[in-house]
Amino acid sequence: MLEKQLALQYELIGRLYDAALHEDRWPGLCDDIAAAFGASSAAVMVQPAASEARFLDRSANLDDVALTAYEEQDWQCGLGAQKARQLELSQVFASADIPGDTALDPTGFYAATSEQAGACYVVGAVFAVSPTELGVLGIHRAGALGNYAEEDKACVRAFLPHLERALQLRSRLAHQGLAEHCSVTALDALATAVFLLDADLTVLYANASAAALFGAEAPLCLRGAQLVQTASHGARTLARMVRGAMRGRAPGVPAEAPPPQSLSLPRHGRLPLTLTVAPFALPDGTLGHKPCAIVMARDPGAVTASAEVLRQLFDLTPAEASVSRALAAGDSLEEIAAASGVSVNTVKTHLHRVYGKTGTGRQGELVALIHGSTATLCMPHPIG
C-alpha cells in the first residue's frame, strides 16, 4: 500500500507543474491527492490578501454544500482558521497540532459534513504563494482512522514544496499574462505608431495606429514583412538607427543601452513624419533572445486632441472643448469661428471660460497644457 501511495505521489508532482502552465488541468487533482495519501478527501485553496479564500480544486465528495461550509465555517473559525494561520508558513500540521482542536467538534461544522466527506481529521499546511496570496492544502480522513501521525506529516512535507512551487509558478504566469495584456491594450490605444523591429527591419509587432502611416507618398512602407524607408534625410536612416540601437544589446557589448535616436522624414506638402528609435530588450527565450529595436512614429498633422477627453479633464462644455481642440490643432480664432458658424466674439467668450477652468491665461499656455495632457495620447473619439 505504501509503495502504491509513493508512486501516486511521484506521478502527482509532474501533474502539478503541468497544471501550473494549463489552468484547466487543476480540476481532478485533489481526488488524486487524496488517493495518493490514503485519504478520503483533499482541497487546495488560494487566499488573496484582499478577498475571500477560494478553492482551486477539491475532491469530488466535497460537494457544493460541504464546500460552502468549509469556506464559511471551517476556514474562518475551525481548524483552518486563525490558529492554523498562526503557525509558521509551510509548517505541516495535523489536527492535534492546533490548540483547542485536538478533536474536532462533532456538533459544529463536522456534524454536517464529516460523515459525508470523511473529513474528521486533517493534515495540511498554509504557505506563501506570492506577496499577496496564501495557499492552503488540506488532506482529510474519516474519524475511524484516527488522527494523522508524524509519519503522515513527513509524507506531506515531501510533497508540499512541489505544490508550493506549482502555485507560485501559476501566480507569476498570471501576473505576467496580465502585464502583457495591459501593455498590448495600452499600445493599441495610443495615437502613436509603435513597431518592434529586428536587425533586418522585419516587423515583429505593430500596434493599431501603425497602419495609418502607410499610404501614397508615405516615407515608410511595408515590403513583405519589412519596414522600408522611401524618403531620405541626409545620411541618417532608419536602418542605421535601428542597428545603432541594437549595438548595446549585442553579445560582448556592455549592458548600458544607447540613448534613443530621433529622425524626421520629409513628406511632400505635409509636415514631416517624426520617428524615435530605442533599444528593446526581449525576455530570455523570446524570439531566440535576438536584439530588437522599438520604433515610435507620429504624424504631426494627424495628432489631434480628443474633445471628449478635454471635456472630461477640465469640465468643459462641448463648445468649449471644440474650441480648445481646434486651437491646439493650430487653427486661428477666425478659422474656428468660420468652421463653427459663430462670431469671433463667441469663440473668444468660450476661450476665456476655458482659461478659467484650466488655470491658464493665454493661448500658448493653453495649447501647451493640452499637448502635455492625455488628450493627445489616445486616438480621438467624438463627444458623445
> For the chain, what are the domain ranges?
2-180, 190-298, 307-376
Domain 307-376 has CATH 1.10.10.10: yes
Mean pLDDT of 309-316: 94
| Residue that is written with C-alpha cell 509524507 in the block | 155
pLDDT at 164: 92
Q: Give the residue from 55, 54, 57 showing the smallest Cα distance to 16.
A: 57
Which helix (H) or strand (E) element contains residue 164? helix 150-189
Question: To the nearest whole percent, how much of the chain has pLDDT over 70?
Answer: 78
- Helix H, strand E, coil C: the string for the chain is CHHHHHHHHHHHHHHHHHHHHCHHHCCCHHHHHHHHCCCCEEEEEEEECCCCCEEEEECCCCCHHHHHHHHHHHHHHCCCCHHHHCCCCCCCEEHHHCCCCCCCCCCCHHHHHHHHHCCCEEEEEEEEEECCEEEEEEEEECHHHCCCCHHHHHHHHHHHHHHHHHHHHHHHHHHHHHHHHHHHHHHHHECCEEEEECCCCEEEEECHHHHHHCCCCCCEEEECCEEEECCCECEECHHHHHHHHHHCCCCCCCCCCCCCEEEEEEECCEEEEEEEEEEECCCCCHHHHCCEEEEEEECCCCCCCCHHHHHHHHCCCHHHHHHHHHHHCCCCHHHHHHHHCCCHHHHHHHHHHHHHHHCCCCHHHHHHHHHCCHHHCECCCCCC
CATH topology of 2-180 equal to that of 190-298?
yes
Max avg pLDDT among 20-29, 54-63, 180-189: 20-29
pLDDT digits 0-9 by tens, 73-128: 444 434 444 555 556 788 898 887 765 544 444 444 444 455 555 677 888 898 98
Highest mean pLDDT among 27-36, 92-101, 276-285, 370-379: 27-36
Decide which of 3.30.450, 2.60.40, 1.25.40, 1.10.10 is the CATH code for 190-298. 3.30.450
- Condensed to tens digits (0 to 9), the pLDDT of residues 156-182 reads 998 999 999 999 988 888 877 776 777
Q: What is the pLDDT of residue 346?
A: 96
C-alpha cell at 362: 493665454
At 227, is the pLDDT very low, low, confident or very high (cuts 50, 70, 90)?
A: very high
Q: Which pTM value belongs to this model? A: 0.55
Note the pLDDT tens digit of each residue in 322-381: 999 999 988 999 999 999 999 999 999 999 999 999 999 999 999 999 988 988 877 655
Between 1.10.20.10, 3.30.450.80, 3.10.20.600, 3.40.50.800, what CATH number should domain 2-180 receive?
A: 3.30.450.80
CA distance 269 to 266: 9
